[in-house]
């Protein structure tokens, strides 16, 4: 659209809003129906470790959303001299899983427990055995059952549990619903019925530790909706909560709220069976849409769904970029001591480009990027750890190489299970995330790690909120008109701007050598957790 057409679309309200609450940033984008972003806003935040629980304040949830929306409104006013008053469709996405529990009157019963917590192992193990279906520690049902095992007093008062995206959607629309992709991180989904598995629901309700409670699990879970299904409308109260200036009108169509995995699949056009995508950030995950069930249960492989309900094999790691960011801040402080003000893009670019002179095995340097516990390597807590031998090649290039190698190491371990045990391997992975923005450095390392081509689109650093805005547009179409796969192919990704890198044989061999040392050194990480 040109400037005149865009101005007309804004005046008529033919724009869609996508909001995503990520681990380190809340981002909102305003998009025209031709899928071009016309305004954006963001808010930086960090989780807090309080009383041994990783959490975010719900007050900050709203201040972050409101500031992001205010930036969009100001951007529209500045560019087009129009006050933003109407939005045709809105979608909310957020980091998946975790635990938000509410009482009958809507009061939060315990601080938000995020995906980052490794505090539900007994519950996850019992439920996996009960269902013969992998229940990861971060899933909402694991958190609920762990609270039951802990005999926490709030459990008896529960009348509703949901995810972060489901919570925000509820407050904006009054609807207690979830998109099927986000719901698949709450409780196992039956692909045929498109909702929670009835057999597993019955097993859970009949579990001896659950039966004493007055509530029924069916009654406290959000309703499940597939992509394209209307999920309510923006209420007057919701409009006032979103836009504190009071200009935004009620009535916007609400798309089913999704998790960041779902928006990652949408923004990389990876919802068809046998396609794969990867998202790398504070945490990381890889996903392959399955065309057949796995032969057995794997504790390192989650079965979730696409936003339209197809089963997905997901490898999720709790730690990816946080340790890199911490070291980057050290280099930034050093630069400031020298009177040099390095902007983030220049800082990361300078550090990442140093790896072009690194040894293929990172010079024998080993890093464990565990700010929090890591399920795949069975680490219950986080102790970021850097290890080297006296004869290791300790250079800047190798140090940054070891950081990038370590960021993807647990992901590789999980993907190797799929490849070696199930012979499931994507032809190419579509990847997104901030670590992939610097001139192909992270992209090439990821390709070498997985020994698979990796494609990065132009939206690599910004895909989540845009993907949710796309789902908001799709909700206007209605899921009966066209499948989500065809909608993305025929309407959205008609001329994708992307770059694909193939694995380098020498790089693959170097990464494998690093992984041999990485896995051999895991007892050091375990001992650090015990001793520090």
pLDDT tens digits, 414-442: 999 999 999 988 888 998 887 887 778 99
pLDDT value at residue 460: 46
- Tell me the mean pLDDT in the region 93-106: 94
| Cα 45 to Cα 21, 25, 316, 392, 503, distances in angstroms | 10, 6, 22, 37, 35
pLDDT value at residue 494: 86
pLDDT value at residue 292: 87
Contact (Cβ atoms closer than 8 angstroms) between residue 256 and residue 475? yes
pLDDT value at residue 374: 92
What's the rounded Cα separation, in Å, for the pair 403 and 435? 11
- Tell me the mean pLDDT in the region 290-317: 93
What's the rounded Cα separation, in Å, for the pair 328 and 464? 24
pLDDT value at residue 516: 97
The closest of 304, 315, 307 to 18, measured between CA atoms, is 307
Supply φ then ψ for residue 411, to 5 degrees: -60, -45
pLDDT interval class at 87 (50, 70, 90):
very high
Three-state DSSP state, 115: coil
Supply angle C-alpha 472, 74, 163, rounded to 5. Answer: 40
Higher pLDDT, residue 481 or 322? 322
Tokens coding 280? 């790398």
pLDDT value at residue 462: 54
- Indicate the pairing of strand 195-196 with strand 189-190: antiparallel
Q: With pLDDT > 70 as the criterion, what percentage of the chain qualifies?
A: 98
What's the rounded Cα separation, in Å, for the pair 21 and 41? 12
Contact (Cβ atoms closer than 8 angstroms) between residue 48 and residue 503? no
Helix (H) or strand (E) run with residue 253 in it = strand 253-254
pLDDT in tens, 358-410: 999 999 999 999 998 998 999 999 999 999 999 999 999 999 999 999 999 99
The closest of 248, 245, 244, 306 to 90, measured between CA atoms, is 248
What is the radius of gyration, based on Cα positions, of the chain?
23
Contact (Cβ atoms closer than 8 angstroms) between residue 504 and residue 445? no
What's the rounded Cα separation, in Å, for the pair 479 and 490? 15
Tokens coding 392? 């290791």
pLDDT interval class at 81 (50, 70, 90):
very high
Tokens coding 142? 């694991």
pLDDT value at residue 434: 77
Q: In what order do the strands lie in the sheet with 311-317?
A: 302-305, 311-317, 284-289, 276-280, 429-432, 454-457, 498-501
- Tell me the mean pLDDT in the region 485-507: 90
Handedness of CA 424, 430, 433, 435 (dihedral sign): positive
pLDDT value at residue 20: 96
pLDDT interval class at 480 (50, 70, 90):
low
pLDDT in tens, 308-346: 999 999 999 989 999 999 999 999 999 999 999 999 989
Burial of 50 (0-12, 13-18, 19+ CB in 10 A): exposed
pLDDT value at residue 289: 93
pLDDT interval class at 23 (50, 70, 90):
confident
Contact (Cβ atoms closer than 8 angstroms) between residue 12 and residue 85? no
pLDDT value at residue 433: 80
What's the rounded Cα separation, in Å, for the pair 195 and 138? 20
The closest of 93, 136, 95 to 114, measured between CA atoms, is 95
- Tell me the mean pLDDT in the region 224-250: 97
Which residue in the block uniquely carries the two structure tokens 């464990």? 368
What is the residue extent of each domain of the chain? 322-412+505-531
Give the DSSP letter of residue 502: P
Rounded to the nearest integer, the mean pLDDT of the chain is: 93
What's the rounded Cα separation, in Å, for the pair 263 and 514? 32
DSSP letter for each residue of 64-106: HHHHHHHHHHHHHHHHH-------SEEEEEE----BEEE-TT-
């Amino acid at each position: 659209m040109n400037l005149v057409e865009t101005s007309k679309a804004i005046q008529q309200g033919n724009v869609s809003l996508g909001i995503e609450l990520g681990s380190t940033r809340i981002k909102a984008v305003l998009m025209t129906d031709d899928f071009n972003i016309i305004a954006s806003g963001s808010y930086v935040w960090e989780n807090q470790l309080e009383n041994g629980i990783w959490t975010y304040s719900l007050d900050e949830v709203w201040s972050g959303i409101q500031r992001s929306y205010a930036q969009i409104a100001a951007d529209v006013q500045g560019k087009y001299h129009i006050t933003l008053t109407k939005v045709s469709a809105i979608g909310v996405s957020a980091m998946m899983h975790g635990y938000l529990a509410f009482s009958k009157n809507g009061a939060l019963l315990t601080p938000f427990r995020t995906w980052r917590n490794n505090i539900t192992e007994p519950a996850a193990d019992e439920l996996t055995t009960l269902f013969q279906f992998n229940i990861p520690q971060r899933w909402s049902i694991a958190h609920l059952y762990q609270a039951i095992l802990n005999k926490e007093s709030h459990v008896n008062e529960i009348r509703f549990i949901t995810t972060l995206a489901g919570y925000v959607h509820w407050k904006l629309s009054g609807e207690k619903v979830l998109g099927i992709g986000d719901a698949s991180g709450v409780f196992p989904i039956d692909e045929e019925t498109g909702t929670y598995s009835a057999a597993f629901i019955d097993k859970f309700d009949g579990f001896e530790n659950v039966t004493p409670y007055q509530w029924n699990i069916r009654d406290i879970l959000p309703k499940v909706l597939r992509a394209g299904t209307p999920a309510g409308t923006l209420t007057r109260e919701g409009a006032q909560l979103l836009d504190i200036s009071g200009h935004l009108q009620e009535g916007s169509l609400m798309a089913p709220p999704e998790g960041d995995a779902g928006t990652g699949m949408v923004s990389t056009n990876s919802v068809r069976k046998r396609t794969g995508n990867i998202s790398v950030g504070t945490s990381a995950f890889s996903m392959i849409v399955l065309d057949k069930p796995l032969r057995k249960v794997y504790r390192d492989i989650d079965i979730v769904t696409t936003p339209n309900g197809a089963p997905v094999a997901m490898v999720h790691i709790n730690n990816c970029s946080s340790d890199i960011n911490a070291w980057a801040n050290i280099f930034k402080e050093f630069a400031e001591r020298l009177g040099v003000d390095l902007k983030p893009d220049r800082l990361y670019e300078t550090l990442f480009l140093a790896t072009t002179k690194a040894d293929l095995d990172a010079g024998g340097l080993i890093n464990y990027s565990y700010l929090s516990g890591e399920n795949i390597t069975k680490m219950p807590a986080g102790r970021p750890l850097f290890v080297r031998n006296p004869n290791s090649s300790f250079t800047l290039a190798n140090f940054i190489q070891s950081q990038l190698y370590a960021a993807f190491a647990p992901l590789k371990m999980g993907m190797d299970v799929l490849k070696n045990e199930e012979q499931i391997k994507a032809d190419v992975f579509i990847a997104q995330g901030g670590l992939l923005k610097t001139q192909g450095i992270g992209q090439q390392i990821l390709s070498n790690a997985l020994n698979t081509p990796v494609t990065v689109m132009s939206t690599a650093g910004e895909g989540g909120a845009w993907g949710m805005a796309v789902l908001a547009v799709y909700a206007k179409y209605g899921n009966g008109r066209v499948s989500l796969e065809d909608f993305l192919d025929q309407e959205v990704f008609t001329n994708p701007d992307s770059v694909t890198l193939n694995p380098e044989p020498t790089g693959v061999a170097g990464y494998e050598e690093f992984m041999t040392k990485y896995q051999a050194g895991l007892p050091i990480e375990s001992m650090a957790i015990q001793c520090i």
